[in-house]
Amino acid sequence: MSTPVITFLTDYGLDDAFVGICHAVIAGICPEARIIDLTHGIPRHDVRGGAVALRDAIPFAPAGVHLAVVDPDVGAARRAVAVRAGDGRLFVGPDNGLLWPAAAKFGGVVEAVDVSHSSLRLEPVSATFHGRDVFAPIAAHLAAGIALAETGDPCDPGSLVTLELPHARHTMGALEVAVLALDRFGNAQLGATHEDVAALKLGEPVGVELANGAVHQARYVWTFSDGASGELLLYEDASRSLALAVREGSAADRLQISPGDEIRLRLP
Amino acid sequence: MSTPVITFLTDYGLDDAFVGICHAVIAGICPEARIIDLTHGIPRHDVRGGAVALRDAIPFAPAGVHLAVVDPDVGAARRAVAVRAGDGRLFVGPDNGLLWPAAAKFGGVVEAVDVSHSSLRLEPVSATFHGRDVFAPIAAHLAAGIALAETGDPCDPGSLVTLELPHARHTMGALEVAVLALDRFGNAQLGATHEDVAALKLGEPVGVELANGAVHQARYVWTFSDGASGELLLYEDASRSLALAVREGSAADRLQISPGDEIRLRLP
Amino acid sequence: MSTPVITFLTDYGLDDAFVGICHAVIAGICPEARIIDLTHGIPRHDVRGGAVALRDAIPFAPAGVHLAVVDPDVGAARRAVAVRAGDGRLFVGPDNGLLWPAAAKFGGVVEAVDVSHSSLRLEPVSATFHGRDVFAPIAAHLAAGIALAETGDPCDPGSLVTLELPHARHTMGALEVAVLALDRFGNAQLGATHEDVAALKLGEPVGVELANGAVHQARYVWTFSDGASGELLLYEDASRSLALAVREGSAADRLQISPGDEIRLRLP
């Protein structure tokens, strides 16, 4: 049998032992599991940013158990869930929409279990660290081969919290889009794809209008090196989303934008 | 035989190759070992913070070799040691108290070896990177099955440097406590437990008096979501220590406190 | 057969999922490979800093596949390459000099393959994330046992981009050296070795003259603890390079130096 894989994504950061302790818990329950840390650098409590990162990373990961924790309401009434997507992948995390876009990409949720009171939790369950006490143990037991239905109380997939990412909206001569995420290089991923700017040709100028009315000139290119140093560029990023970058610089700094901001792309 | 586990905790950070090189050294000596990085984000030279993090993480880790390096006196006279705790766990690191609270939790040190001049070190031993040249090789050889006594010169467990963490002290109507550690969310772990405030009821107010005399109002709660946004909260954290948090904020920023600071909790 | 090892070094940082996605890609192609993350904290686009870190780390790693990506010209004309060093180690990365000093240390490049158009790439190949689409797949296939020549188009090792690190130059009573890299502790690695200051005795003073003419007094020591708190120290670091440090402080902050800066060491 092949080695079970658990991918792991959180907003825990690496400055503390949160991630390491979850690894330790998993190693204790399913020593043969291979853990792939997708990232632990999701901005604190940014459920949408975590959902986008998970959706964009999972297609490159072996099928397995996909553990994700961005959980601003830990300890409150939100449910903890384990779900199966149409293609068989298993997702474990809080029921706050975090898992939704990734599961949707793989056939949607076809089976769901409420693990909030699972007998597989570590006792005593803390009020603030469900990654350690609830989510990691469930993921590890699933990797070890327990049936999904055995991890808690089956529930209606239709009862799960959904998360719909913003789509681009065409208006007169412009495309209204949301900033989905920023990476460490200051590149801004937008809620739009190549198809939304199908008439745009490589090399053409695009006006980037911010919420405050300021307009920055960008150019539509294939890759960073098609721009001059310091030039604002619109391009298709590696997740196949439209994105803004500054060559050898930071679009986030240049435009002073944050995830969730709305901008207008003025097409030629 | 099961896969040997080495847990690993340092103040090396992840910006440089220090941690990666230690992994490489271990992989060369004991390829079958599984390394669990607990954290490498201990504040530079913060032996007490590292000791607390190690003590709080190890209970969740499989028994094995526990490698820890926070070593402000590297290259000086301090000893390098490998020790066995009462329950059989092995700890490797500098003899500066770092390993002490974790070992104490597992039965105390029952066997100790001075590995400062171990024949298992990587030669030439550098003056500044004993993680690579001393501690990682010793940990890897222990994981590979060498007997503890063979790693260096047996020494008296009673000769080890100890580290006693501060306890809470009851004074008239108040509890004097030390700040043990801050996490990336700005939550402040205190040197006190639930039992130290046994008379306090959930929901009751607590005055937090700082060294400069300023008093902040907090409330004793079960979890973050029991507070209002921006409210200062006293709660039992996942390590079962009392801790201070600001919901959707940072207690460290609000109170301007640092590890080692003393505060007074004014109980109702 | 022993477990194949892939070491991995980049400037991707850990805030985003770039590194995790590369791990996922490797796990999909060569599940048995063990990945050793040397570091992902190379300063953005710092090819020379990455080359130095790789050169200094590889001697401590098991022979295997050594994947490195610091790639300011991703998507432009630069080649992607896989090469074999004289001792058999394989290196994969952009052909921009990043791999050169490490390969030189292990016998130089004896076989080279241009993998820019390799059939082993992930399709569609993105314009901006060749770590995921080109380099990680090639490294994984090599770890899985494919012959180097099968990964792309063999090319002349003499056609590779080289990177010669600056050497120290003796002038009248001084040694002119370049700052190669800074670590998180603010220690500054210099392009010079112990042999360049062979006449210098431990404890002797050294003048550190900056480009702006300012001169700081340092002392040549064996290790940090030979200096007083706050003292500027010249020492041989763990990579056997000369380096500058401030005990319990930061040489980078004290001297306001950056990688690439030239300084003069005034010897007694």
Residue type present at position C138: I
pLDDT-derived band of residue A68, with 50, 70 and 90 as boundaries?
A: very high
Query: Measured between alpha carbons, how far is C50 from B20 in angstroms, rounded to an integer?
Result: 14
* 3-class SS of residue C60: helix
Examine residue C268 and say whether the peptide bond preceding it is cis (omega within 30 degrees of 0): no
Cα distances (angstroms) measured from residue B158 to each of B95, B111, B113, B155: 12, 10, 12, 9
Q: What is the pLDDT of residue C20?
A: 98
Q: DSSP letter at A205?
A: E
Q: What is the pLDDT of residue A243?
A: 97
Structure token digits, residue A210: 């911010």
The residue among C126, C139, C105 whose CA lies nearest residue C9 is: C139
Query: Measured between alpha carbons, how far is A214 from A216 in angstroms, rounded to an integer?
Result: 7
pLDDT-derived band of residue A76, with 50, 70 and 90 as boundaries?
A: confident
Interface test mutation site (partner A, options C16, C25, C34, max chain A beta carbons within 10 A): C16
**Mean of the per-residue pLDDT values of chain C:** 95
Which residues neighbour B77 within 8 Å (Cβ) at sequence distance 6 or greater? none
Query: Measured between alpha carbons, how far is A33 from B24 in angstroms, rounded to an integer?
Result: 21
Is B2 in Cβ contact with A20 (below 8 Å)? no
Query: Measured between alpha carbons, how far is B99 from C257 in angstroms, rounded to an integer?
Result: 36
Q: How far apart are the first and last CA of chain B?
A: 56
Stretch B236-240: mean pLDDT, rounded? 94
Angle, helix B47-57 to helix A18-29, in steps of 10 degrees? 30
Q: What is the pLDDT of residue B39?
A: 98
* A74 Ramachandran zone, left/alpha/beta (phi>0; psi -120 to 50): beta
Of B16, B31, B122, the CB nearest to C41: B16
Q: Decide the pairing of beta strands A242-246 and A188-190.
A: antiparallel
Query: Measured between alpha carbons, how far is C69 from C129 in angstroms, rounded to an integer?
Result: 10
Tens of pLDDT, residue by residue over B71-124, are 998 877 899 999 999 999 999 999 999 999 999 999 999 999 999 999 999 999
Q: Phi and psi at residue B152, in whole multiples of 5°?
A: 175, -145
Tens of pLDDT, residue by residue over C112-121, are 999 999 999 9
Output the CA torsion sign for B188, B194, B196, B200. positive
Structure token digits, residue C198: 């062979």
Share of chain A above pLDDT 70, in %: 100
Interface of chain B toward chain A, CB-CB under 8 angstroms: 2-3, 5, 7, 9, 14, 34, 36-41, 53, 56-57, 60-62, 183-185, 222-226, 235-238, 240, 248
Cα distances (angstroms) measured from residue A27 to each of A23, A197, B106, C118: 6, 47, 19, 37
| Shortest Cα–Cα distance, A102 to chain C (Å) | 14
* 3-class SS of residue C35: strand
**Mean of the per-residue pLDDT values of chain B:** 95
Tens of pLDDT, residue by residue over C190-237, are 999 989 998 899 999 999 999 999 999 999 999 888 899 999 999 999
A180 CA to centre of own chain? 10
- DSSP letters of chain B? -PPPEEEEEES--SSSSHHHHHHHHHHHH-TTPEEEEEES-SPTT-HHHHHHHHHHHGGGSPSSEEEEE--TTTTSSPPEEEEEETTS-EEEEESSSTTHHHHHHTT-EEEEEE-TT-TTSPSSPPSS-HIIIIIHHHHHHHHTT--GGGGSEEE-GGGSPP-PPPPPEEETTEEEEEEEEE-TT--EEES--GGGGTT--TT-EEEEE-TTS-EEEEEE-SSGGGS-TT-EEEEE-TTS-EEEEETTS-HHHHHT--TT-EEEEE--
The residue among C47, C42, C139, C131 whose CA lies nearest residue C89 is: C139
Examine residue C205 and say whether the peptide bond preceding it is cis (omega within 30 degrees of 0): no
Partners of C235 on chain B (C-beta within 8 Å) are 127-128
pLDDT-derived band of residue A1, with 50, 70 and 90 as boundaries?
A: low
Interface test mutation site (partner A, options B2, B185, B221, B229, max chain A beta carbons within 10 A): B185
Which residues neighbour C96 within 8 Å (Cβ) at sequence distance 6 or greater? C47, C70, C71, C72, C73, C78, C161, C163
B88 CA to centre of own chain? 19
Burial status of residue C192 (CB atoms within 10 A of its CB: 0-12, 13-18, 19 or more)? buried
> Do B65 and B29 touch, CB atoms closer than 8 A?
no
Q: Which residues pair with B219 in a beta bridge?
A: B205, B233
Interface of chain C toward chain B, CB-CB under 8 angstroms: 2-3, 5, 7, 9, 14, 34, 36-41, 53, 56-57, 60-62, 183-185, 222-226, 235-238, 240, 248
Query: Measured between alpha carbons, how far is C165 from C262 in angstroms, rounded to an integer?
Result: 13
Of C17, C74, C133, the CB nearest to A38: C17
Strand segments, DSSP code E, in C72-135 are 80-85, 90-94, 109-114
* 3-class SS of residue A143: helix
Of C16, C24, C74, the CB nearest to A60: C24
Tens of pLDDT, residue by residue over A118-138, are 999 999 999 899 999 999 999
The residue among A55, A158, A165 whose CA lies nearest residue A110 is: A158
Is C45 in Cβ contact with A39 (below 8 Å)? no
Is B132 in Cβ contact with C238 (below 8 Å)? yes
Cα distances (angstroms) measured from residue B199 to each of B195, B204, B209, B215: 9, 10, 19, 21
Q: How many CB pairs under 8 A join A and C?
A: 92
Of B17, B45, B128, the CB nearest to C223: B128
pLDDT-derived band of residue C1, with 50, 70 and 90 as boundaries?
A: low
Angle, helix C18-29 to helix C136-143, in steps of 10 degrees? 30
Q: What is the pLDDT of residue A90?
A: 98
Predicted structure pTM score = 0.96
Partners of A33 on chain B (C-beta within 8 Å) are none
Partners of B235 on chain A (C-beta within 8 Å) are 127-128
Burial status of residue B234 (CB atoms within 10 A of its CB: 0-12, 13-18, 19 or more)? buried
Is C20 in Cβ contact with A38 (below 8 Å)? yes
Angle, helix A136-143 to helix A18-29, in steps of 10 degrees? 30
Residue type present at position A80: A
Among chain C residues, the shortest Cα distance to A66 is held by C24
Partners of C225 on chain B (C-beta within 8 Å) are 73-76
Radius of gyration of chain B (CA): 20
pLDDT-derived band of residue C6, with 50, 70 and 90 as boundaries?
A: very high
* 3-class SS of residue A237: coil
Q: Which residue has the tokens 């040549």?
A: C220
Among chain A residues, the shortest Cα distance to B13 is held by A15
Partners of C184 on chain B (C-beta within 8 Å) are 12-13, 15-16
Angle (CA) B187-B193-B196 rounded to 5° is 125
> Do C77 and C71 touch, CB atoms closer than 8 A?
no
If one counts every other C-beta atom within 10 angstroms of the C-beta of residue B159, the result is: 11
Query: Measured between alpha carbons, how far is A153 from C59 in angstroms, rounded to an integer?
Result: 52
Stretch A31-53: mean pLDDT, rounded? 96
Q: Which residues pair with C67 in a beta bridge?
A: C8, C92
Q: What is the pLDDT of residue B173?
A: 83
Is C183 in Cβ contact with B16 (below 8 Å)? yes
Is A248 in Cβ contact with C128 (below 8 Å)? no
Is B15 in Cβ contact with C184 (below 8 Å)? yes
Is A27 in Cβ contact with B62 (below 8 Å)? yes
Structure token digits, residue B86: 């009462």
pLDDT-derived band of residue B247, with 50, 70 and 90 as boundaries?
A: very high
